[in-house]
Amino acid sequence: MSKVVSLSKARKSRARQAARKEADANAVKFGRNKAEKARDRAEAKQSASDLDGHRRE
């Protein structure tokens, strides 16, 4: 005979699995560590400085 399953627990379990799957996808898509973010900020600051240095008045 089959196992008795609480429908609310099964529904919540499915929702948790879907949320975890979506979170993992977002972590791959958007996740960057602190060092990567700092490097990108430094590169942007350096390129802005280079551009300002070459600006004619």
User: Rounded to an integer, what distance in angstroms lies between the CA atom of residue 47 and that of residue 39?
Assistant: 12
Given pLDDT bands bounded at 50, 70 and 90, which one contains residue 18?
A: very high
Q: What pTM was computed for the model?
A: 0.51
User: Rounded to an integer, what distance in angstroms lies between the CA atom of residue 38 and that of residue 56?
Assistant: 30
Given pLDDT bands bounded at 50, 70 and 90, which one contains residue 1?
A: confident
DSSP assignments along 8-32, one per residue: HHHHHHHHHHHHHHHHHHHHHHH--
pLDDT of residue 53: 85
Give the H/E segment covering residue 44: helix 34-53
| pLDDT over 90 at 57, yes or no | no
pLDDT in tens, 27-40: 888 888 899 989 99
